[in-house]
């Protein structure tokens, strides 16, 4: 009768998908409910664990994990969970990613010409490492305004990278419209119907001055990125890399496809509709999440639940003029009563609001204002958990992987 | 915003504009932060570089239109109304609602009634009228509609592609069959007997109103029959109320006045039954989409919200109300033509969160192996692929699905949507089944 599973995960980002895979690994039947498409399409595709502590760039995130405050999600789950989360990521991403050979941070140039510390990076970006001393040419396309190669090169030089870098702009074969979707470039290179790969390489060859590596905006194919890079590298006789971009992002889209494959193989059923409420047993156990389907409210029953709906950006934490709240299970979110205390005046100051989120115990169970467990069979994962400023720390993906793995494993184990 | 100019607690964005006749799209336009996720999901933008994409058609065009001399860009008629942008948006921007209203405005203000395209679109959108007439003389209609010279003339004068074969009209419509089977009285008796056989409460109030839509009535009555038999198997009494077109082809062609006229009939007849405790069930996912989402988004008709809240897709209903998965996992399908099914999830099923449903239900059904052919759009989008100038785009969009269907085992397809089914058949030559027909074969002997 009805729709019933061992574990129900609410939220389809990296934390939710990781939790679903971890729960399925315990033998539990798992369903994942997500309000819209995965937000990986908006992510750069870089997998950070901890890039900065006390505003200092970290060479090795694992050196700093022990020194984080007690309410940081990493402190709640412990170092082992961080390693487990990364191992699960490596399983999902496979050949698509690099960086697993070391625990140290890699430094990756971004499309704005900044350098970002990260634990894992797409294989397509590997030849672009900022620690690599080979000179580089960055190539932009006239019709792709999101990547201004000469500007990005200027920024990288100003950041003091240990190599010479130069930017050039070429026109993309077939002359796409000025605001063409990034997938148009990617699919033209994938399909290669009119020799787009080789024609692009030849256009780049005219501005290439023998630099041993050449960077492109991250649009080099959705389905066959390695083949696309291969042709470009052969013609240019140089290593070819992608520079991660803003949304919508091809590296993120490729990673999304890898996760979807993993979920399918693990037998996780995915439902793309929002959760609009819940049912309990009258005590403090959840019995169902109410999924809204275009007006209809349908209970999805489970024995254990994982809340992985995201933070302030993902709308897993919401706010209005009266306060800050968690809209799905109405878990307690501590915050100053006066909303002028939610932020500080300096734009890049130490704002309180990025750390808003539910308070969890070491088992990732959300706690209410009095410290009592909200629901015995509910765990939280990802940026809905408070205590981390993922943008300032460069820790968002790592927190999602570590807490997702821990919450999913525990939820699954409870039902077996 | 500082506190000094903060609006009062009674602030209601909808009241900012005095004209309350049309939906206020400003909050939706404001919610768009230009991430372009919708554009990368748009099947039309994917194959047509000249189509500016859903972000432009929705929030951007809405903003441009605030200037008095701005008119709706003609590119809005390239949108196929697949509604994929809705579920791609991370910010809940009502993209398809914006497209529907923009398209209606375009048709009203920019498309001349002396233009053959207007009449072609109006005829296609009002498929029900043609089907109603054709069903009176189905054999003649089937011959005439696919008669070469006639099709050539239709393409030249109206722009209806001659590449496609018109679907055959059934010699007996679903409603004619339903009357022969005794209508509601017959159904009550059969349902009662089924409840007795199942050991259910014989007097249980299990009543549903079937919205069959045009296609199950005029073209594929076997889908409607499967619906009746499966629901009666579970002890449900059916009624088949008076109904017009759900409006789907009319939304897609910007014919909102036509759509509203039909919607009023549907909301009145279905709404009365909902008030009496019936649930509204549709077998076509575009019909259920229209009743659930587009009606309340586009029209202000009494009872429209209540109807939306009580409308279900057929299998979804049984899955929630009955142990459908349990019964299916204990059943076996003997019909060998259903052994290998290449399943395509229609866009409008995806938008109701139903895209994984059929595969999940049939996973443990013995004798059936259903394989997903990927998440691409079939490309026909109702009347879209019937237009001479859209035919090529439609087939280009469908290419990925055709390829995956060819790769899948077997030569029978499955989908919930009548026009996806046309496209699947047109691109591969496969016979296409509705999941209800599979359930019928499994549970109703």
**Residue B49: how many other CB atoms lie within 10 Å:** 15
- pLDDT higher at B146 or A414: A414
Among B36, B307, B321, B347, pick the best mutation site for testing chain A contact (most A Cβ within 10 A): B36
Q: Which residue in B40, B305, B352 is closest to A41 by CB distance?
A: B40
Which of A221, A243, A265 delimits the end of a domain? A243
Domain of residue A363: give its range.
3-97+253-415
pLDDT value of residue B426: 93
Q: Is the pLDDT of residue B18 over 70?
A: no
Are the beta carbons of A298 and B320 separated by less than 8 Å?
yes
**Residue B123: how many other CB atoms lie within 10 Å:** 16
How far apart CA B266 and CA B260 sit, in angstroms, is 10
Residue A17 lies in a domain: yes
Q: Is the pLDDT of residue B56 over 70?
A: yes
Residue where the block lists tokens 């988004």: B297
Please name which of A230, A266, A213 lies closest in space to residue A412, comparing C-alpha atoms.
A266
Q: Is the pLDDT of residue B3 over 50?
A: no
Residue B7 pLDDT level (bands cut at 50, 70, 90): very low
Could you tell me if A11 and A154 lie in one domain?
no
Beta-strand relationship, B412-414 and B431-433: parallel
Instruction: Supply the mean pLDDT for chain B.
Output: 89
pLDDT value of residue B112: 80
- pLDDT higher at A381 or B14: A381
Residue A336 lies in a domain: yes
pLDDT in tens, A82-119: 999 999 999 999 999 999 999 999 999 999 999 999 99
Q: Which two tokens stand for residue A75?
A: 């402190």
Q: Is the pLDDT of residue A327 over 90?
A: yes
Could you tell me if A332 and A266 lie in one domain?
yes
Residue B311 sits at the chain A interface (C-beta within 8 Å) = yes
Residue A104 lies in a domain: no
Residue A272 sits at the chain B interface (C-beta within 8 Å) = yes
pLDDT value of residue A138: 98
Percent of chain A past pLDDT 90, that is, above it, reads 90
Identify how many contiguous H helices and E strands chain B contains and give both numbers. 27, 8
Are the beta carbons of A295 and B41 separated by less than 8 Å?
no
Residue B5 pLDDT level (bands cut at 50, 70, 90): very low
The whole-angstrom distance between residue A168's C-alpha and the CA centroid of its chain comes to 30
Are the beta carbons of A1 and B323 separated by less than 8 Å?
yes
Which of A180, A215, A243 delimits the end of a domain? A243
Minimal C-alpha gap between B113 and chain A (Å): 32
Q: Which has the minimum average pLDDT: A227-241, A271-285, B128-142, B219-233?
A: B128-142
Residues of A with Cβ-Cβ distance to B346 under 8 angstroms: none
Return the H-helix or E-strand segment holding A102. Answer: none
Please name which of B295, B228, B286 lies closest in space to residue B268, comparing C-alpha atoms.
B295
Q: Is the pLDDT of residue A337 over 70?
A: yes
Percent of chain A past pLDDT 70, that is, above it, reads 100
Residue A193 lies in a domain: yes
Could you state, in order of their start, the residue ranges of all structural domains in chain B?
11-109, 116-158, 174-321, 324-443
pLDDT value of residue B124: 83
- pLDDT higher at B290 or A42: B290
How far apart CA B98 and CA B79 sit, in angstroms, is 12
Could you tell me if A76 and A129 lie in one domain?
no
Are the beta carbons of A247 and B35 separated by less than 8 Å?
yes
The residues near B129 (Cβ < 8 Å, ≥ 6 apart) are none
Minimal C-alpha gap between B307 and chain A (Å): 9
Mean pLDDT across the stretch A123-136? 97
Which of A211, A243, A275 delimits the end of a domain? A243
Could you tell me if A115 and A223 lie in one domain?
yes
Supply the CATH number for residue A149's domain. 3.40.50.1860
Q: Is the pLDDT of residue A142 over 60?
A: yes
Q: What is the dihedral of CA B193, B195, B201, B207, to 10 degrees?
A: -100
Residue A12 lies in a domain: yes
Q: Is the pLDDT of residue B8 over 70?
A: no
- pLDDT higher at B22 or B25: B25
Are the beta carbons of B87 and A37 separated by less than 8 Å?
yes
How far apart CA A203 and CA A206 sit, in angstroms, is 6
Mean pLDDT across the stretch B95-112? 90
Residue A327 sits at the chain B interface (C-beta within 8 Å) = no
Chain A CA closest to residue B322: A1
Q: What is the dihedral of CA A391, A395, A401, A403, to 10 degrees?
A: -90
Q: Which has the minimum average pLDDT: A56-60, A347-351, B123-127, B392-396?
A: B123-127
Which CATH fold would you assign to the domain B11-109? Fumarate Reductase Iron-sulfur Protein; Chain B, domain 2 (1.10.1060)
pLDDT value of residue B4: 44
A401-405, B22-26, B43-47, B355-359: range with highest mean pLDDT: A401-405
Residue B43 sits at the chain A interface (C-beta within 8 Å) = no
Helix or strand or coil: residue B413?
strand
Among B3, B10, B40, B45, pick the best mutation site for testing chain A contact (most A Cβ within 10 A): B40
Residues of B with Cβ-Cβ distance to A248 under 8 angstroms: 35-37, 39-40
Cis peptide upstream of residue A248 (ω within 30 degrees of 0) = yes
Supply the CATH number for residue A378's domain. 3.50.50.60
pLDDT in tens, A22-36: 999 999 999 999 998
pLDDT value of residue B25: 85
ipTM: 0.87
Residue A102 lies in a domain: no
Q: Is the pLDDT of residue B126 over 90?
A: no
Residues of B with Cβ-Cβ distance to A299 under 8 angstroms: 320
Residues 283-322 in A contacting B (C-alpha not used; CB under 8 Å): 291, 293-296, 298-299, 314, 321
How far apart CA B357 and CA B369 sit, in angstroms, is 14
Among A8, A268, A272, A345, pick the best mutation site for testing chain B contact (most B Cβ within 10 A): A272
Are the beta carbons of B88 and A273 separated by less than 8 Å?
no
Residue A224 sits at the chain B interface (C-beta within 8 Å) = no
Are the beta carbons of A248 and B40 separated by less than 8 Å?
yes
- Angle, alpha carbons B168-B171-B176 (nearest 5°): 125
Q: Is the pLDDT of residue B14 over 60?
A: no
How far apart CA A8 and CA A24 sit, in angstroms, is 11
Q: Is the pLDDT of residue A356 over 90?
A: yes
Residue where the block lists tokens 């796409």: A176
Chain B CA closest to residue A246: B35
Q: Residue B171 gets which letter from DSSP?
A: S
pLDDT value of residue B21: 58
B324-443 CATH: 3.40.50
Mean pLDDT across the stretch A227-251? 96
Q: Which residue in A36, A253, A293 is closest to B89 by CB distance?
A: A36
Residues of A with Cβ-Cβ distance to B351 under 8 angstroms: 294
Please name which of A313, A332, A321, A314 lies closest in space to residue A378, comparing C-alpha atoms.
A332
Beta-strand relationship, B412-414 and B340-343: parallel
Percent of chain B past pLDDT 70, that is, above it, reads 95
Are the beta carbons of B45 and A181 separated by less than 8 Å?
yes
Minimal C-alpha gap between A180 and chain B (Å): 7
Q: Is the pLDDT of residue B239 over 50?
A: yes
The residues near A342 (Cβ < 8 Å, ≥ 6 apart) are A324, A335, A336, A351, A352, A353, A356
Q: Which has the minimum average pLDDT: A204-218, B105-119, B244-258, B340-354?
A: B105-119
Chain B CA closest to residue A267: B360
Residue A106 lies in a domain: no
pLDDT in tens, A252-271: 999 999 999 999 999 999 99
Mean pLDDT across the stretch A373-395? 96
pLDDT value of residue A1: 58
Length of chain A: 416
Percent of chain B past pLDDT 90, that is, above it, reads 64
Residue A177 pLDDT level (bands cut at 50, 70, 90): confident
Residue B353 sits at the chain A interface (C-beta within 8 Å) = yes
pLDDT value of residue B127: 81
Chain A CA closest to residue B323: A1
Are the beta carbons of A294 and B355 separated by less than 8 Å?
no
Mean pLDDT across the stretch B43-62? 90
Residues of B with Cβ-Cβ distance to A36 under 8 angstroms: 87-90, 92
pLDDT value of residue B1: 39
- pLDDT higher at B3 or A263: A263
Could you tell me if A279 and A365 lie in one domain?
yes
Residue A156 lies in a domain: yes
Residue B87 sits at the chain A interface (C-beta within 8 Å) = yes
Could you tell me if A263 and A231 lie in one domain?
no
pLDDT value of residue B6: 47
Residue A336 sits at the chain B interface (C-beta within 8 Å) = no
Q: How far is residue A42 from each of residues A223, A400, B3, B31, B273, measured CA to CA in Å?
A: 18, 15, 33, 16, 45
Cα-only R_g, chain A = 22
């Amino acid at each position: 009768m009805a729709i019933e599973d061992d574990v129900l995960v609410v939220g389809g980002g990296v934390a939710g998908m990781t939790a679903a895979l971890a729960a399925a690994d315990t033998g539990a039947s798992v369903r994942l409910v997500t309000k819209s498409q995965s937000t990986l399409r908006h992510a750069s595709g870089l997998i950070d664990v901890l890039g900065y502590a006390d505003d200092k760039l970290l060479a090795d995130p694992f050196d700093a994990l022990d020194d984080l405050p007690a309410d940081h999600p990493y402190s709640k789950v412990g170092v082992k969970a961080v390693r487990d989360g990364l191992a699960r990521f490596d399983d999902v991403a496979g050949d698509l990613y690099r960086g697993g050979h070391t625990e140290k941070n890699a430094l990756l140039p971004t499309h704005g010409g900044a350098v970002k510390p990260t634990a894992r990076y797409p294989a397509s970006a590997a030849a672009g490492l900022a620690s690599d001393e080979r000179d580089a040419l960055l190539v932009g396309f006239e019709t792709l305004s999101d990547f201004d190669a000469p500007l990005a090169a200027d920024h990288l030089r100003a950041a003091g990278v240990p190599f010479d870098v130069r930017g050039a702009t070429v026109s993309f074969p077939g002359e796409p419209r000025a605001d063409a979707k990034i997938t148009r470039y990617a699919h033209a290179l994938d399909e290669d119907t009119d020799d787009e790969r080789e024609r692009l390489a030849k256009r780049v060859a005219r501005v290439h001055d023998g630099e041993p590596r050449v960077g492109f905006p991250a649009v080099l194919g959705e389905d066959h990125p390695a083949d696309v890079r291969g042709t470009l590298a052969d013609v240019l006789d140089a290593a070819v890399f992608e520079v991660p971009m803003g949304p919508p992002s091809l590296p993120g889209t490729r990673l999304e496809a890898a996760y979807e494959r993993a979920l399918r193989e693990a037998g996780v059923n995915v439902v793309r509709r929002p959760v609009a409420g819940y049912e309990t047993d009258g005590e403090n156990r959840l019995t169902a999440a109410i999924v809204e389907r275009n007006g209809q409210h349908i209970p999805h029953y489970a024995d254990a639940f994982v809340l992985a709906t995201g933070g302030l950006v993902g709308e897993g934490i919401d706010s209005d003029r009266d306060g800050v709240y968690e809209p799905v299970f109405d878990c307690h979110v501590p915050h100053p009563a006066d909303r002028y205390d939610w932020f500080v005046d300096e734009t890049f100051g130490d704002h309180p609001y990025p750390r808003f989120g539910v308070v969890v115990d070491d088992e990732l169970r959300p706690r209410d204002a009095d410290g009592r467990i909200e629901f015995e069979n509910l765990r939280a994962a990802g940026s809905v958990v408070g205590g981390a400023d993922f943008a300032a720390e460069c820790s968002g993906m790592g927190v999602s992987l570590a807490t997702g793995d821990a919450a999913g494993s525990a939820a699954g184990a409870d039902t077996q | 915003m500082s506190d000094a100019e903060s609006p009062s607690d009674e602030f209601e964005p909808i009241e900012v504009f005095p004209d309350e006749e049309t939906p206020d799209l400003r909050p939706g336009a404001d919610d768009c932060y230009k991430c372009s996720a919708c554009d990368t999901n748009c099947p039309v933008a994917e194959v047509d570089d000249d189509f500016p994409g859903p972000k432009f058609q929705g929030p951007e065009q809405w903003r441009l239109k605030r200037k008095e001399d701005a008119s709706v860009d003609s590119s809005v008629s390239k949108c196929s109304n697949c509604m994929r942008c809705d579920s791609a948006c991370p910010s809940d921007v009502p993209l398809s609602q914006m497209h529907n209203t923009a398209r209606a405005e375009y048709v009203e203000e920019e498309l001349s009634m002396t233009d053959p395209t207007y009449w072609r679109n109006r005829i296609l959108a009002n498929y029900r009228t043609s089907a109603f007439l054709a069903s009176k003389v189905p054999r003649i209609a089937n011959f005439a509609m696919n008669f070469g010279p006639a099709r050539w003339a239709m393409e030249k004068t109206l722009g209806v592609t001659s590449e496609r074969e018109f679907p055959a009209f059934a010699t007996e419509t679903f409603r004619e069959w339903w009357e022969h089977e005794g209508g509601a009285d017959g159904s009550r008796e059969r349902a009662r007997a089924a409840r007795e056989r199942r050991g259910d409460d014989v007097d249980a109030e299990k009543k549903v109103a079937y919205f069959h839509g045009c296609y199950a009535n005029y073209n594929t009555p076997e889908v409607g029959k499967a619906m009746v038999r499966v629901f009666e198997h579970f002890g449900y009494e059916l009624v088949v109320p008076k109904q017009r077109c759900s409006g789907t082809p009319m939304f897609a062609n910007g014919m909102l006045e036509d759509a509203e006229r039909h919607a009023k009939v549907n909301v009145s007849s279905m709404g009365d039954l909902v008030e009496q405790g019936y649930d509204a069930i549709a077998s076509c996912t575009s019909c259920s989409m229209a009743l659930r989402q587009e009606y309340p988004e586009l029209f202000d008709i009494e009872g429209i919200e209540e109807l939306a809240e009580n409308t279900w897709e057929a299998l979804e209903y049984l899955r929630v109300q009955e142990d459908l998965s349990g019964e299916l996992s204990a059943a076996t399908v003997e019909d060998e033509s259903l052994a290998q099914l290449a399943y395509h999830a229609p866009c409008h099923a995806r938008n109701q969160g139903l895209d994984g449903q059929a595969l999940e239900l049939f996973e443990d059904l013995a004798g059936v192996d259903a394989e997903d052919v990927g998440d691409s759009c079939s490309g026909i989008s109702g009347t879209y692929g019937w237009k001479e100038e859209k035919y090529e785009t439609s087939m280009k969009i469908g290419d990925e699905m055709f390829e995956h269907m060819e790769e899948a085992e077997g030569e029978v397809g499955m989908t919930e949507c009548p026009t996806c089914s046309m496209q699947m058949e047109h691109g591969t030559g496969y016979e296409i089944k509705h999941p209800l027909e599979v359930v019928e074969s499994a549970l109703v002997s």
